[in-house]
Structure 1
């Protein structure tokens, strides 16, 4: 269970930074292009397919916008606990995509995930959960995926040891300062990290395997920024067909 007060605190932090969030993201993520492109490139489904997609901690809808553009028949559900973030996401999809996108204001860690999906994604959200909640979430995600469905997480991880974590932090700060980010934006970003509950990558991969995922794969890593996925196995009936 999330420690008392954490959910409210996270919501406030992201509501307060919502308007400038997308603008600053390119400067705060040194590997921005790869980080948001690779999740799209590893989706194995045909682009004409009517996908059902769930985006956990969707924020301003950046990742979902990329999916919507590649999959014009996809139906997307964007979940987030910060109202200001979802308001920006709603504006992002206010045009022709509005009819196939649903927005849900909720804490996906505490509230039930309804429906079934072909694709479940998350970007820069799950690292806010405690380890036990991450593992529990992976189990819940596997249950609501259709057989053959895919879970993709683009997130930040803790170094596997103190040496790695020190290098991760040093290189991130160096790259961010080189980007020309404002002192105000950097301070706000550091404030948001107080709500982080990052976990080593190896542990998260183990949780995916224990949850029943197959083909667990790390597709990308740039210091503490990673993209990984797991597939829900096909049922015995599917395999026999």
Structure 2
């Protein structure tokens, strides 16, 4: 499938969800803020270091906002292919706008040609799993190549666990969690729940009801976290590990 067809076919699924996702993602993803906080704790730089960061599939900029707050001298590249998410992220990140360069690009394409600074850190959350296996491997290699020596790559994403039944249970638990959050969402955000639930019902059809059907690019193409650790190691990353595992989500990464 060409990238243009991929973008067009997934436009409604992702682009119209930009504002909804921004408002409700911290409720939708279990331990969302915890995962962000632990990633930031793992970043081995002094808080005042002048580091350059790339966030892949940066979406509405929630993770970047936290990183830029923690590292006041850091500069970042926001990379995503969604103009709707670009609009949302520019509002969220308005006070950091002089420290961010926004790049519209699918993360599987060669965004490196638009990078003109040395890169010390690359992060991503809930984006890379939409790529096909070969694209994931190529992306990891691209990250390795653009990083400065001793730079770090961290990816928080949906991944298969070692035991297949445990993986299926994690999918079921997430769907159940998506139903349960309605009572915890603040009143001012309730209007966003129904479109989120409709989106999540479609997620269930793709990922649970039809779990054995082949997945296409743009779907949730979950890979075993153990495989991804091996890919990172084979590419050349060192200190590779799964730093956090929480149900469907793993925080994996390594150092150049």
Task: Calculate the TM-score normalised by the size of structure 1.
Answer: 0.89
Residue 10 of structure 2 is aligned to residue 10 of structure 1: yes
Aligned to 2:213: none
Q: Does 1:123 align with 2:125?
A: yes
Q: Is the 8 A contact 1:12 1:82 kept in 2?
A: no
Distance 1:158 1:83 in 2: 30
Q: Give how far 1:183 is off.
A: 4.5
**Other-structure match for 2:196:** 185
8 Å Cα contact 2:178/2:200 also seen in 1:
no
Q: Equivalent residue for 1:104? A: 103
Matched, 1:213 2:237: yes
Within-5 A mapping of 1:1-241: 5-95=5-95, 97-114=96-113, 115=115, 116-180=118-182, 182-191=193-202, 194=206, 195-232=219-256
Cα distance in 1 for partners of 2:48, 2:4 equals 44
Query: Is the Cα contact below 8 Å between 1:220 and 1:228 reproduced in 2?
Result: yes
User: RMSD of the alignment, in Å?
Assistant: 1.9
Equivalent-residue separation in structure 1 for 2:203 and 2:79 (angstroms)? 19
The alpha-carbon deviation at position 161 of structure 1 amounts to 4.1
CA offset at residue 168 of structure 1? 0.8
Q: Residues of 1 paired with 2:255 and 2:201: CA distance?
A: 34
Shift in alpha-carbon separation, 1:59–1:190, aligned structure 2, 3 A: farther
Q: Distance in 1 between matches of 2:250 and 2:79?
A: 21
Could you list the runs of 5+ residues in structure 2 that have no partner in the other structure?
186-192, 207-218
Q: Using the TM superposition, give the Cα deviation of residue 44 of structure 1 relative to its aligned residue in structure 2, in angstroms.
A: 0.5
- Per the alignment, residue 238 of structure 1 pairs with none
Q: Distance in 2 between matches of 1:26 and 1:224?
A: 15
Number of residue equivalences: 231
TM-score by length of structure 2 reads 0.84
8 Å Cα contact 1:2/1:129 also seen in 2: no
Q: Deviations over 1:45-81 (max 9, x none)?
A: 0011011001110000111111100111111000000
Q: Secondary structure at the match of 2:252?
A: strand
Moved over 4 A (4+): 1-4
Cα shift at 1:2? 6.7
The 3-state SS of whatever aligns with 2:251 is strand
Query: Does the residue aligned with 1:133 lie in a helix, a strand or coil?
Result: helix
